[in-house]
Amino acid sequence: MSETGIGARLVRKEDHRFITGKGRYTDDINLPGQAHAYFVRSPHAHAEIKKVDTAKAAKAPGVLCVLTGDDAAKDGVGGLICGWMIHSKDGSPMKAGPHPVLAQGKVRHVGDQVAVVVARTKAQAKAAAALVNVTYKTLDAVADPAKAQKRGAPKVHDVAANNTVFEWEIGDKAATEAAFAKAAHITSLDLVNNRLAPNAMEPRAAIGSYDAGEDHFTLYTTSQNPHVARLVISAFIGIAPEHKLRVIAPDVGGGFGSKIFIYAEEVVCLWASKRAGGVPVKWVAERSESFLTDAHGRDHVTKAELATDANGKVTGMRVKTIANMGAYLSTFASSVPTYLYATLLSGQYNIPNIYAEVDAVYTNTTPVDAYRGAGRPEATYVVERLMETAARELGEDPAEFRRKNFITEFPHQTPVIMCYDAGDYGASLDKALELIDYKGFDKRKAAAAKKGKLRGIGFSNYIEACGIAPSAAVGSLGAGVGLWESAEVRVNPVGTVEILTGSHSHGQGHETTFAQLVSDRLGIDASQVSIVHGDTDKVQFGMGTYGSRSGAVGMTAISKALDKIEAKAKKVAAHVMEASESDVEFKNGTFSVKGTDKKMAFGEVALAAYVAHKFPTSEVEPGLKEGAFHDPSNFTFPAGCHVCELEVDADTGVVEVVDWVAVDDFGNIINPMIVEGQVHGGIAQGVGQALTEGVVYDDSGQLLTGSYMDYCMPRADNLPTLRLGFTKTECPSNPLGIKGCGEAGAIAAPAALMNALTNALGVKDVPMPATPQTVWKAMAHMREAAE
């Protein structure tokens, strides 16, 4: 164990470049001779394209080329794909409509890309784009998922009757119906999980560069998973074979899921570079384009019911959800409202019978895909709103009602696929109750009332499945690939270490935490370790970062490679110290020979691995470099208890979050400072969903929230100081005993806040986001009672 090892609150190694303005994001990179792309986008939600006239634009100053969907078709540029096959109840495969990189024949949402102009400067490209004359025949549009399947609704894709992508189910319907028939009480809620725009602060960007001499492409892109981008762009879109395509994701300014996906713009930049004769082509999204084209999150309409027996034990859950997919199926869109959602509907509770139906629908809106939490916030919202409401209806304390339904024995097989491996839900609840001073709530409520404020308290006992994804499990569920991770450990002759990882860091701090693991294992300081990631030429392959997988999956791959390094180094040490390998021990960075005073520091063995003579190469080769792939055996299941206390101004409907306690079980923690930061950020996004954020389309499919003027991002004064606590059960399915922490806050927070708000107002439900206007409307019953 070193001072910079596992558990240390080590200040981040990557910070120096960011705080000095030396970060290197895609838009900071400029290639010699670079041109700029500007996209012509549809102003209509739904229209036939009658004609795209590019003649004027092509002659405008500085223009190198103008490309349309017809050009893409001629050049054989393939369409974008969705990588997870979902089958409907009747066994039929999901109905995936075509998703060309530039629209062909039809546009299906406002912002759909119709043409691209490449010009010497961005201003020239933008000016010329205004000269592209597109003749549209507008069609009726549908934006509301609840209306998409209605008779006579406008049809988004010919292949999808009633705009239905799939009608999927999970669980035992008959057993669940029987449980409801016998129920002593049924709690029912109609819930809308509001549509969100992810809004990483760095807008998406890409530079495509074609080298005619080598017939080779390079793509700089804001990606969370550059290798997956290369695989898809190569194998499915057909731009170039993988060895002729290098994808680099340099510093990336936040992702939250939105930068997992393979988008049209990056493909077009590559293709356009070749069409423009090898001139590098750069595109940087304006924030208004981000709102129109970055895949959105959530957007569920759900009817949820909970059956309880006479003792207040939950006996069944029934859920029907309509999930909005938008106008096209984005890269992982189909997995989000199915296997990442309904498989978590058991929450932390022993629920013997669950049945869920999910209809995924097309609408004339921006595609919807994974956004921080991806399905699990939606599941937690359903479960925790139901639990809180049921407790209130049964006259039970919401904390104790939860406790009596907790799962307490592990492993626990839920009725919806997941097998929870470890947890102690009572421990996190107890700690949260203590931190929030639950017993003192009535006093605080009374004090608030004196100030004219309505105070409420709400719980969210979330669980999530992360460390996506065990290939055996997800392969059988339709995933195109198993989501393992790779690692390579290169020990230099001087004993410093380079870790090559398929994970990608865009704020998570891998350069620090991964180095801490190496420091811990090899007994060297973390400063002696560098992390290489985000470049397909440097790292052979990887699956990237999302679903809180980089610790549990990515670090486990590193750990396995370190096992091999240790084994190899022992052989080297044995050779140099002329000892039997079985007598060599490695501890605290030193190799020693049992029963002797012979020893070598790790750095000395590293040097010997490269410079020692007379290696018996049949037993040990020179060099110290090892690789490993890790395919997890199960998901990991972080869980915890968040408690929100808030006050509502009865006159204005303004909600102030006054206290927040989060107690999380993430198993072993590598760097508490970084983990706390992840929780803070997640909670802020959850509070944003509950209080301020919501993507709004009008009935014609026009986006009404297209900038920060209309889409309200949470600010510093929307949040209180957050109070965190931790409990620990180690994850048994990886050697580090770690879980995942990146999404927990965003998963837990909306339900905690809305439970607190409905508690304060004494109402069953308030729609998110609970803006002052919405809250004021929800207080109508109080005003009526007062009159």
Partner 1 sequence: MPAISMTVNGEKVCGEVEGRTLLVEFIRNTLGKTGTHVGCDTSQCGACVVHVDGKAVKSCTALAIACDGADVVTIEGIAKDGKLHPMQEAFRENHGLQCGFCTPGMIMSGIDIVKRKGKKLKEETIREELEGNICRCTGYHNIVKAIQAGAAKM
Contacts with partner 1 by CB under 8 A lie at 11-12, 14-25, 27-28, 123, 199-203, 251-254, 256, 286-288, 506-509, 673-674, 676-677, 680-685, 707-709, 713, 715-717, 719, 721-722, 745
Three-state SS for 58-121 is HCCCCEEEEEEHHHHHHCCCCCCCCCECCECCCCCECCCCCCCCCCCCEECCCCCEEEEEEECC
**Rounded least distance, CB 370 to partner 1, Å:** 16
Q: How many CA atoms lie within 13 A of 411 on its CB side?
A: 13
Dist CA 636 CA 464 (whole Å) = 8
Closest CB to partner 1 among residues 683, 768: 683
**Rounded least distance, CB 728 to partner 1, Å:** 21
**Rounded least distance, CB 678 to partner 1, Å:** 8
**Rounded least distance, CB 93 to partner 1, Å:** 36
746 preceded by cis ω (within 30°)?
Answer: no
Angle at which helices 510-522 and 556-576 pack, to 10 degrees?
A: 30
**Rounded least distance, CB 198 to partner 1, Å:** 8
415 preceded by cis ω (within 30°)?
Answer: no
Closest CB to partner 1 among residues 27, 144: 27
**Rounded least distance, CB 716 to partner 1, Å:** 4
Closest CB to partner 1 among residues 175, 658: 658
- Residue 449 has which token pair? 């009332």
**Element spanning 588, H or E:** none
Dist CA 565 CA 626 (whole Å) = 6
Strand order from edge to edge, sheet including 47-53? 106-107, 47-53, 133-138
Closest CB to partner 1 among residues 198, 467: 198
**Rounded least distance, CB 509 to partner 1, Å:** 7
Dist CA 556 CA 667 (whole Å) = 14
**Rounded least distance, CB 125 to partner 1, Å:** 15
Nearest Cα residue to 385 out of 751, 640, 767: 751
**Rounded least distance, CB 58 to partner 1, Å:** 23
Angle at which helices 744-761 and 672-687 pack, to 10 degrees?
A: 50
Listed in sequence order, the residues at least 6 apart from 651 whose beta carbon sits closer than 8 Å to its beta carbon are: 452
Helix, strand and coil content of the chain, in percent to the nearest 5, comes to: 30, 25, 45
Nearest Cα residue to 610 out of 570, 567, 571, 572: 572
Angle at which helices 398-405 and 376-394 pack, to 10 degrees?
A: 110
Closest CB to partner 1 among residues 714, 737: 714
Closest CB to partner 1 among residues 373, 423: 373
**Rounded least distance, CB 709 to partner 1, Å:** 5
**Rounded least distance, CB 469 to partner 1, Å:** 24
Q: Provide φ and ψ at 314, rounded to 5°.
A: -70, 130
**Angle 491-495-501 from CA coordinates, rounded to 5°:** 35
Closest CB to partner 1 among residues 69, 253: 253
Closest CB to partner 1 among residues 451, 614: 451
Q: Are 759 and 457 in contact (CB under 8 A)?
A: yes
Total residues belonging to the chain = 787
Q: Are 418 and 340 in contact (CB under 8 A)?
A: no
Dist CA 444 CA 674 (whole Å) = 32
**10 Å Cβ neighbour count for 658?**
15
**Element spanning 566, H or E:** helix 556-576
Closest CB to partner 1 among residues 75, 286: 286
**Angle 381-387-393 from CA coordinates, rounded to 5°:** 130
Dist CA 119 CA 65 (whole Å) = 7
Closest CB to partner 1 among residues 207, 497: 207
Beta bridge partners of 722: 660
Closest CB to partner 1 among residues 3, 214: 3
**Rounded least distance, CB 253 to partner 1, Å:** 3
- Residue listed under structure tokens 């609970």: 770
Spell out the alpha helix ranges (H) of 192-244: 226-235
Closest CB to partner 1 among residues 25, 410: 25
**Rounded least distance, CB 123 to partner 1, Å:** 8
Closest CB to partner 1 among residues 16, 404: 16
**Rounded least distance, CB 714 to partner 1, Å:** 8
Residue type (1 letter), 675? V
Listed in sequence order, the residues at least 6 apart from 564 whose beta carbon sits closer than 8 Å to its beta carbon are: 489, 626, 627, 628
**10 Å Cβ neighbour count for 174?**
9
Closest CB to partner 1 among residues 94, 724: 724
Nearest Cα residue to 115 out of 100, 124, 103, 99: 103
Closest CB to partner 1 among residues 20, 618: 20
Q: Are 486 and 501 in contact (CB under 8 A)?
A: yes
Closest CB to partner 1 among residues 201, 785: 201
Closest CB to partner 1 among residues 347, 554: 554
**Rounded least distance, CB 11 to partner 1, Å:** 6
Beta bridge partners of 420: 412
**Rounded least distance, CB 129 to partner 1, Å:** 16
**Rounded least distance, CB 70 to partner 1, Å:** 30
**10 Å Cβ neighbour count for 135?**
11
